[in-house]
Amino acid sequence: MRILLTSFTTFGDHQVNPSRLVVEALDGRHADVITAVLPVEYSGAEARIRALIAQHEPDAILMLGLAARRGAINLERFALNIDDAPLPDNAGVTAAGRPIVADGPPAYTSTLPLPSLLDALQAKGIPAVISNHAGTYVCNHVFYVARHLIEQTRRQIPCGFVHVPQIASEDDQPGLPLAALIEAVECCLDTLRSQK
């Protein structure tokens, strides 16, 4: 089994992107996991995820991103066919209500085993919830593009997005320790392996 595990660089006011730290910590740890860090750019991230899927033909795709105001692991249920965010991407592009794929469906459902992932995370005492969608910024863009590609190729593989909170600090902001974020993603990988 080959699992593609992706994360993002820093963006906006965020000096650290914990999704990147998690992926870097797991890089080379598992022979069946291919890791990549995507740019926080609509077009750049799309080109990169397309190239990674074409090159590696993974058996599962687990994409990670930062949701700084959330305090738990968020398992995203839907990818929406829209880019719409006031924050420019790292290339300076601001998207306002534009479709990702002009003739694509309004949304794609995650094909990750969300209930199993949730149960496994909660069994380890890791705060986790199922969230309805991945927003309308670059995270959602990559999620939608990946699912659209999978649908076009008619491959039935697990593919979805997980938002992680920021790393816990002492300023009363929501978050989890980096070790817990790494454990959470390891748990998701183990669950994906067990489904095959």
pLDDT (tens digit, 9 = 90+) per residue, 26-37? Answer: 999 999 999 999
**% of residues, the chain, pLDDT over 70:** 97
Sketch the domain layout of the chain as residue ranges. Answer: 3-195
Mean pLDDT over the full length of the chain: 94
- Asked about 57 being catalytic, the answer comes back as no
Total Cβ atoms within 10 A of residue 61: 29
- Name the fold adopted by 3-195: Aminopeptidase (3.40.630)
Which is the catalytic residue, given 41, 141, 159, 163?
163
**Predicted confidence band of residue 171 (pLDDT cuts 50, 70, 90):** low
The lowest-confidence range among 5-14, 47-56, 124-133, 134-143 is 5-14
- Asked about 139 being catalytic, the answer comes back as yes
* pTM as predicted: 0.94
Three-state secondary structure along 129-152? EEEEECCCCHHHHHHHHHHHHHHH
- pLDDT surpasses 80 at 131: yes
Which is the catalytic residue, given 41, 46, 76, 148?
76
- pLDDT surpasses 60 at 170: no
Q: Provide the pLDDT for residue 172.
A: 63
- Asked about 141 being catalytic, the answer comes back as no
